[in-house]
Amino acid sequence: MSKIALMLIKEQIHAAAREVGFSLCGVAKCRSLDVSRTRFEGWLASGCGDGLDYLSHNIDKRFDPAQLVEGAKTVIICALNYRNAITNGYSAEARCKVASYACTTDYHRTIRAMLREVFARLRHSNPTLTGRAFVDSAPLAEKTWAVEAGLGWIGRQSLLITREYGSTVLLGALVVCDEADSYDSPYEGDGCGECRRCVEACPNRAIGSERMIDPRRCISRLTIERKAVMPDNCGLHGWVFGCEECQNICPYNHSKPIATLPAIAPTFDPRTMTEVDWQAMSDDEFATRLGHTPLSRSGRERIIEAIE
Ligand code: SF4
Ligand code: SF4
């Protein structure tokens, strides 16, 4: 028996995302984003993806969700504000800085559970709805799709910037196989204008042209990826996991609301921890205290190396 496709109602999608706790939601029609794909291929050709081989795999799927999910019709992008007191909260002398998103339960878990809940709500009215949830788990260009769904623009530091929450948002996507009654308009315009504050603030000069960064020089990658090699003239500048210098300087991140969802609240505060605290921590203690956070990705040893 063939499936009877019901149409999704855009306002119901927005409402479901809001009720589950997402800060923003946008709905885009599936299509192949050829202009973005060409830019991405140019960035790869420049050598910036060296050492990140996975980026050159499945480029078709990254910019065309129908290649990723058979029968895909609609991309639902959900954004979660993660701003907390640790964001922009370090002193100039701090030597053990952890990016604020990493001071909480691993967002992959949190957002995947929330996307499943949104999907379950949509299935109430569309019981035959099929689709998949993605949180960095597949080659989907989430930031590009967020622009397509009207949430914001790609800043010069390569991150999505939203008017409501700046760039401190985490993204998740639902790619579903029913059409919506209407779609959000792609975000038009560029809030960066002549601003270059992030370019000038980046300690390793990792921000290049075309809204792309050079991950080989980016502290975020240098601290997190176990195989990353430190290039000449680069350093970690007090960061031991991630880096937020280019976000902290951005005017769109000033005076923005702190996240209220308990699931995204910090579970430890690196501002209160010294080099000695980190160095004295055993593997067991690290696993107990921080195993639920993104820090488990780099591991205790990598953090100790970063301090030294
Ligand atoms: S995260 Fe840090 S190193 Fe990477 S581009 Fe931003 S400021 Fe530069
Ligand atoms: S600091 Fe300026 S150039 Fe950089 S992302 Fe923010 S607004 Fe754009």
**For 226-249, how does the pLDDT look when each residue is reduced to its tens digit (9 = 90+)?**
777 899 999 999 999 999 999 999
What residues are in contact with ligand 2 under a 6 Å CB criterion? Answer: 155-157, 161, 192, 195-198, 249-252
166: left (phi over 0), alpha (psi -120 to 50) or beta: left
- Mark 64-95 as b/e (b = at least 16 C-beta within 10 Å): bbbbbbeebbbbbbbbbbbbbebbbebeeebb
Does the predicted TM-score (pTM) go above 0.85?
yes
What residues are in contact with ligand 1 under a 6 Å CB criterion? Answer: 157, 202, 204, 206-207, 213, 218-220, 243, 245-246
Ligand 2 atom index nearest CA of 253: 6
Q: What's the confidence (pLDDT) of residue 286?
A: 96
Span from the CA of 236 to the centroid of ligand 1 (angstroms): 10
Which positions are catalytic? 136
Residue numbers of the chain with a pLDDT score lower than 50:
none
Q: pLDDT tens for residues 124-175?
A: 999 999 999 999 877 889 999 999 999 999 999 999 999 999 999 999 999 9
Q: Do 33 and 142 form a contact (C-beta atoms < 8 A)?
A: no
Q: What's the confidence (pLDDT) of residue 5?
A: 63
Domains of the chain, residue spans: 10-87+104-176
Residue type present at position 233: N
